[in-house]
Structure formats: C-alpha cells, structure tokens
Amino acid sequence: MPENKPTAPTQNLVRVSPGVLVVGKPLPWPVFDAHGEVLLAQGYVIQSESQLEQLYNRGMFYPHQAENPDEEVAEEVAEGQRNPFADYRALLKTLDRTYDAISTRDPDARLKLLGLARLIDRICREAPDATLSLVHLYSVEPTATEQSLFYAIVCHFAGREMHLDDGRIVVLMAAALSANLALMPILDKLNASSHGLNDQQRSIIHRHPQLAARALHEAGIENRLLLKIVLQHHERADGSGYPEGLTGDAILPEAHIMALAEHYVALISRRGYRSRYSITQARKALVDAAQDSPRPALFRALLNALTPYPPGALVRLASNEIAVVTHRPVHMGGHRVKAISDPMGSAYASGFERDTGLLDFNIRAVEVVDMMPPMDFQALWDYEHP
C-alpha cells in the first residue's frame, strides 16, 4: 500500500454489513475506516473467516455508493475518464437490473440491455488492458453475473480482432450479457456442485438458449442478429450442439465467438467438480480445439486478442518474483508487468514495474492460484482512488 493513503469524505461512508464481504475473493471496492483512510484496497483478498469477523468487529467503513441500492453505472461521463475498477461493482448491479427489466418485460428493457453493452464496449475501448484484466483478476470463482460480464468483455476483444464493425460488436456483447438469462437462478449452484446434473437441470441447460431468446423477444428486444446469436451459441459445427443441432455455415460466426468466450472463461474458473485451468492450459485447449474446427480463424482471433499473458494474469519472472501483467505488448515491445511479491514470497508494499525484455525479468511461467494474492488494482493500473 502507498504511504499516503487516499481518503474519502466521511459523510459518504457506511458501516460494512455482514455478508457483504467474501473470504477468498478480491474486494470489488476499497474499504475505508471512519476517518476516510483506505484500510483495504480494491483487490485485497480476505484470507479467513476470523479475519472477516475482526473486520466487522472493528467497524470498518466503505463508500456509501458501493452498497447504494439505486447504484447504476452511468454513461454520461467525459471521454477518457472511465475507470473499469471503479465501475466494476456498478456494472454488475446494472446487469442484474437489466435481467430484472427483461424478466418483467419492462418497456425500457431494450434500451437498458443495448445501453449497457454500448457502455461496456466504450470502457473496453478507453481502457482495454485494465478492462480485460477484470476477467482474470476475478476469475477464480466468479458469480453467474460476473461470468456474463466476462463473456461480453472477451467477445469485444475477439470481435475487434476479427474486424467486426462496431455495431455488430455491440450486438454480440448484448447477446453475451443476456444469453444465460434462463440459467441465472441455478448457475451459481451448478458451478459449485460436485455432482452430476439431474434431469430437470439438464433440461433447462439444453433449452436455455430458446428460453433466453423468448424472454428477450417478449421484452421487446427484437434485434434479429442478437436473438440468432443467443439461439445458436451452443450449436457446434459438427452438429453435436443444441438446441437445433445446426452444422457448418448455418451457425453465425458471432455465435461461435460467444461460445469460445464462454469456454475460455469456464476453463479459467474453478468449478465444484474440477480445479481451474491455468491460462497456459486454457490456451492449449483452444489450440487443440482449433485443429478440428472449420473456423480456426476465430480461435486465432481470441488467442491473439488475449496474448499468452493477458492483463490480470499472475506470472513468475526470472527474478523469481511474482508479478501481475498490466498491459499487452505494443508493437515490438513486451508485456508490461508489476512485481507484487519478492523471491521469498513476501508482498511488496506497492507494485514495481519490471521490464520483461530484460533477461533478469523475463516471464518464465504463468501462476495458477486458488486464492488471488492481495493487490491494489487501481494503484497497479495507475488509477487514483475515487
């Protein structure tokens, strides 16, 4: 942590309520004390239930907007001022409200969904590496809502690599946000379960593209491309997919991109029935799958967009330090990283930028962890705390 800790106006702080913070997951916002000083930065990981209990007992505070039931991320912000870390919690809340709007057939459901997709697209364009890092920093055990946000982010970068026009990318992202609408009530439970599916769950999974498309249509969302992507995102070129068993060119490329985004996020996330893949293992799985695909260019697009060491990935350097990747290579340069722990495993007070082009700081391996180490995300990406 930096020595000069940022402060927040104390009149905007409220007491942390039990159940708000979760052991083992990075904080989605910074935690403050009663005087407005940052005690736990966004990205800090609470290590145990006893630590969590101490936190509640000590009366920590955090900004009121982090738990405001009316919080919704706004698009009306000057160009260049988006901060994906500060926006993160509000994006998730806005997505949940969008699901409610679709389910209740709110007349504004179409505007909410496409507006949110446009906003996420804008954040991806203005802060590409920081936004892509969200997928990897919060990927250990994401909620169903987080997964959908990650699908949209990954689709943005794969779509841009495929040179899709801006309008199609936004529609693809809207489809990624909403395609699992019918699974939302059960998805967290399914991901945590170590047991096989029962008949009812299997039926919902096989019908969820149709159920989502129907809900979208009934809510007044009639964009044909969007509905078609949702319907086809589990179809497979060899006819083994569902719900229609389509083959070959009958499946939209955008639906295939979305399927790849879902697959990648699933691989790097922990499930009740398996450990999470490392990024290296996930890339190899995509490379292997591309060999049997009639559309290998889609796989290459995703792999090129992510790079071997995507932002948010933990890597081990030749110095034996652990670092987090902050930026993908530009032109002939290397990945930009910041070391967060020394060779003995002790955390640095703040991140130290390392030149991965130097032999002493080459990236040697991708690290895979079951619990992310504490980090100050905003400081690592050079954002000021709000």
Query: pLDDT tens digit string along 253-296?
Result: 999 999 999 999 999 998 888 889 999 999 999 999 999 899 99
Structure-model confidence comparison of residues 375 and 19, the more confident one? 375
Half-sphere exposure of residue 151: CA atoms within 13 angstroms, side-chain side: 29
Window from 63-77, 152-166, 358-372 with minimum mean pLDDT: 63-77
Q: Is the CATH code 1.10.3210.10 the one for domain 84-306? A: yes
pLDDT score at 17: 62
**pLDDT value at position 65?**
42
| Average pLDDT value for residue range 44-50 | 79
Q: How does pLDDT run across 60-118, given as a tens digit for each residue?
A: 554 434 344 445 666 554 455 789 998 998 999 999 999 999 999 999 999 999 999 99
Q: pLDDT at position 88, please?
A: 92
Average pLDDT over residues 14-33: 70
| β strands within the chain, DSSP E | 13-15, 31-32, 38-40, 61-63, 314-317, 322-327, 336-341, 347-355, 363-366
Chain segment 226-242, per-residue pLDDT in tens: 999 999 999 999 999 99
- Report, as an integer, the average pLDDT of 315-326: 97
> Rounded mean pLDDT of the chain?
87
The predicted pLDDT at position 384 comes to: 80
Mean pLDDT of 196-205: 82
CA distances 82 to 31, 38, 218, 241, 384, Å, are 21, 21, 33, 38, 12
Domain-wise residue ranges, the chain: 10-66, 84-306, 314-380
